[in-house]
A and B are shown apart, each in its own frame.
Chain A
Amino acid sequence: MKKALLLLVALSFTLFSLSANGGKETKEEKKAAPAAPKLIAAMATDVGGLGDGSFNDGSYAGLTKAQADGICEARVVESKQMTDYIPNLTGLAEDGADIVFAVGFLMADAIIEAAQNNPETKYAGIDIWVDPATAPTNVLGISFNEHEAGYLAGIVAGYMTKEYAGKSDRLNDDNVIGVVLGMDIPPCERYEVGFQAGAQSVNPDVKVLQAVAGDFADQAKGKELTLAMINEGADIVFQVAGLTGMGVIAAAQEEGTLAIGVDVDQYAAAPEAVLTSAMKGITEAAYQTIQSVADGSFKGATNVSLGIKENAVGIAPYHNFDSVIPQEVKDAVNKAVADIQSGKITVPASRAEL
């Protein structure tokens, strides 16, 4: 009986760790072997894990791209819960990583602690702001101007929901749009605020509904919130909610309304229902950071903030909706890009600034 229990425990943990670390890594290592890279770049995902089609995948793509270019060897561990952050970030350094990426705002405290314990290893936090005054010199904070990407998506949504409601049978005349957040944290808030500002810049009367699911992995909640918004007349709902957002897309697909994806181009999830996606260039940011470590220009205890100026955020191609979205809307988006680049428009980044 005891043996059977032990066997069960062993089996479950083996499978668990196998699935958490395995799969991809082994495949990538095989590919990387002949190149014999000197640098080891590693990342710890947030609890959403790889396959979120969002910031974890985006960061990992940066690492594998650098690996493919022979700059580094890529490694990844996935965090199952928040208590995994520090062990993961520390463990990667102890296993010889030169640069460790912590992916996600929620790891802000963990990365500082891990960096203090491993001063020889460089750390970069994606979606994390570090305090330059107190942060150890081996930590870099990388954040994005999500509000600028949200602003562009807001322009599209603001125009389409009112001026061009007749262009698609997925739109109505109610002049209501919505945004579903996973959690009420700064990167999500920036998307939301930018979206609202963008929509109102072209459609001052538009009503923007907002709700927080409280979870990044609960599809049912995302769907129910979206259904409630659709009942209130919303025809375009912007998801800023990771896997919870798959429920937003599912609701749009079923109810014949539209969704806007987040972080990466989510068109493939539901080609008929995803209008566009607000994107941030996490892949590029991770890649450039690895390059900076490789050529020795990495600078810690500081923050970089990447926006439209750096070509790091934007919106995805319109795909199926390319013929539906009128040229006027596309021009407005392009003009906003130019205006933000030239500094003519400053997009609010928090609810307080809105």
Chain B
Amino acid sequence: MEFVIELLSATMRLATPIALAAMGAAVCERSGIVNIAMEGLMLIGAFFAAAVALATGSPWLGLLGGVIFGGLFSLLHAWSTVTLHINHTVSGAIINILAAGLTRFFMVEFYGHPGSSDMVQKTLGDLNCAVPLLSKIPLLGPVLFDQSPTVYFMYFFVLFTSFLLNRTKLGLHIRAAGEHPMALETLGISVKKIRYIGVLYSGLLCGFAGSFLAIEYGRFFTEGMTGGRGFIALAANVSGGWTAVGSFVAAIFFGFIDALQLKLQVMGIFKIPPEFFHMLPYAATVIAVAGLVRRSRPPADSGNDFSIEKEM
């Protein structure tokens, strides 16, 4: 029982950054912009979260800093793909390289050395807050409701994203921008604006995910600390069928596989080479994407450039 609780708690922790970024991916891709820049956006968010938290001593301001800078940086992707009509994948790849370089550059500028920052004394992880009553539910209570703040934010954003996409006018516009931008434009709604909103949303959430990694899950900013989670989030979004709830379920699945492999290694039950365990999350990604994608359909106009001037 205790093993199951620990395993599932670890699952939630490992799934949180992936789920947050996958929510951003869901909105961004549905608006028609492919976003492989999420890895870089997360890294930028992680750096500024740690930098602000170290400078001010407040983890909440750190989180705010991470979210804001993640959002600001994503505007670069929006500007290059929507305004300048650069190929989405190319822009995303450049932003990932830029983010790795920039964070290192700032490390040297701010702290005099690259690598890892000083330890953040007060992190959001220290504010472990169990929800009264709910956390007493057997099994699910400690797993879902005895976590650090961002995990709860993650639940909120899953519901919010799902609501936004399916139940609001803006959501309808976002979906239309990805399915049939011309139809949206003929209604007099700017596809450009909607796509900017979509990318910005993913930037803010990637900043959130990065902040979680740096000042809630960890206590240091370390270079490359996102460890491919931005790409896994993209895979979660694809295998989740471009929906918020589907992406969430996929993120939990990836988190679970990772938690399982870490746990099994430590318990040393099976004498299997560690490389096998390391392979598990990626093998699961491939299987999930290959198995589920066939049934899910991408937004029809995702990845396509749209400019009303050209369509006329």
Residues of chain A touching chain B, judged by Cβ–Cβ distance below 8 Å, are 1, 4-5, 8-9, 11-13, 15-20, 22-24, 48-53, 57, 78, 80, 178, 184, 209-212, 214-215, 217-221, 223-225, 227-229, 231-232, 243, 246-247, 249-250, 253-254, 269-270
Contact = CB atoms under 8 A, between A and B. Distances in A.
Contacts, number: 164
Nearest to B87: A5
Given A211-B274, A220-B14, A223-B217, 13 more contacts: A12-B94, A12-B95, A15-B102, A19-B108, A23-B109, A51-B115, A52-B116, A211-B266, A219-B225, A220-B213, A224-B13, A243-B222, A243-B223
Contacts of B125: 254
Contact of B80 (A8, A49, A78, A209): A8
Nearest to B222: A243
A5 B259 CA distance: 40
A232 B267 contact: yes
A16 B268 contact: no
A263 B278 CA distance: 25
Interface centre among A16, A219, A231 (most CB of B within 10 A): A219
B218 A219 contact: yes
Contacts of A218: 224-225, 227
A324 to B, nearest CB: 21
A125 to B, nearest CB: 21
A265 B275 CA distance: 29
A207 to B, nearest CB: 10
Contacts of B259: 224
A246 B116 contact: yes
B115 A209 contact: no
Given A209-B268, A224-B259, A253 B119 contact: yes
B49 to A, nearest CB: 13
B126 A254 contact: yes
A332 to B, nearest CB: 27
B10 interface: yes
Given A5-B84, A218-B225, A227-B10, A250 B219 contact: yes
Contact of A209 (B91, B266, B275): B266
Contact of B90 (A5, A48, A57, A211): A5
Contact of A19 (B102, B116, B119): B102
Contacts of B288: none
A270 B119 contact: yes
B265 interface: yes
Given A5-B80, A224-B14, A219 B119 contact: no
Q: Indicate the size class of the contact surface on chain B.
A: 35 or more
A220 B218 contact: yes
Contacts of A224: 10, 13-14, 258-259, 262
A51 B14 contact: no
B85 interface: yes
A38 to B, nearest CB: 28
B266 A228 contact: yes
Interface centre among B17, B85, B265, B273 (most CB of A within 10 A): B265
Contacts of A178: 266
Q: Is the interface of A mostly helix, strand, loop or mixed?
A: helix
B90 A52 contact: no
A49 B115 contact: yes
A29 B267 CA distance: 50
Interface in B82-97: 84-86, 90-91, 94-95, 97
Nearest to A226: B266
19 contacts: A15-B105, A16-B100, A20-B101, A24-B113, A50-B114, A52-B116, A57-B113, A214-B278, A218-B227, A219-B218, A220-B218, A224-B13, A224-B14, A224-B258, A225-B266, A232-B266, A246-B222, A253-B219, A254-B219
Contacts of A19: 101-102, 104-105, 108, 114
A231 B105 contact: no
A269 B100 contact: no
B208 interface: no
A51 B113 contact: yes
B130 interface: no
Interface in B206-231: 213, 217-220, 222-225, 227
B300 interface: no
A184 B268 CA distance: 15
Contacts of A214: 274-275, 277-278
B282 to A, nearest CB: 10
Contact of B107 (A17, A51, A210, A253): A51
B101 A53 contact: no
A220 B6 contact: no
B72 interface: no
A1 B84 contact: yes
A179 to B, nearest CB: 11
A135 B78 CA distance: 52
Nearest to A219: B218
A243 B115 contact: yes
B164 interface: no
Given A178-B266, A254-B125, A51 B223 contact: yes
Interface centre among B98, B108, B125, B222 (most CB of A within 10 A): B222
A247 B86 CA distance: 38
A212 to B, nearest CB: 4
B180 interface: no
Contacts of A17: 101
A298 to B, nearest CB: 30
Interface centre among B84, B104, B217, B266 (most CB of A within 10 A): B266
Contacts of A22: 108
Contacts of A219: 213, 217-218, 220, 222, 225
